[in-house]
Amino acid sequence: MDIEDLMGGGVSNGEETQQSPLKSLKVDLDFYKESIKEVATDMMAEGYTLYPIFIAHQHEVSIGELLLDKNELQTQWSIHVSSLEEFVERGLIKEDKQAHFVKNYKSANDYMCLFVLVPEGANFVFYPYA
């Protein structure tokens, strides 16, 4: 899924909808992407994981480690870094779905794998570095 698939916008039932918070995520990701790519590359090179996952959120989360703090950087979104292994260990990805996740995982050299948390729920998104 691409980030554009998650972004709301336009007119619904004759009324304007609120701007999606994901529009601000796109702005922040463009700002963060070099740092995120560097961390993903390091995680893979050091053998930590072949499947880095970056958690994008606007509130507190208890998974992964804080990488980019919205308060320090004066942005809208914070990013935590995690891995497929941690997601399986914590039950966010069921073991029997792990192979499906790996099959659909896009190249970490070209895309960041994001787990985007919004009030309506959460979803995986692959966002290109370029």
Give yes or no for a contact between 70 and 21, defined as CB atoms under 8 angstroms apart: no
Predicted pLDDT at 23 = 86
Looking at the chain, the whole-number percentage of residues with pLDDT higher than 90 is: 76
Residue 27 CB contacts under 8 Å (≥ 6 apart), including other chains: 75, 76
* HSE toward the beta carbon, residue 74, CA cutoff 13 A: 0
Residue indicated by tokens 């930590």: 48
CA distance 16 to 28: 24
Instruction: Quote the pTM value.
Output: 0.84
104 CB-contact burial (10 Å; exposed 0-12 / middle 13-18 / buried 19+): exposed
For 25-34, what is each residue's pLDDT tens digit? 999 999 999 9
Q: Which residues of the chain have pLDDT under 50?
A: 1, 3-17
CA distance 42 to 45: 5
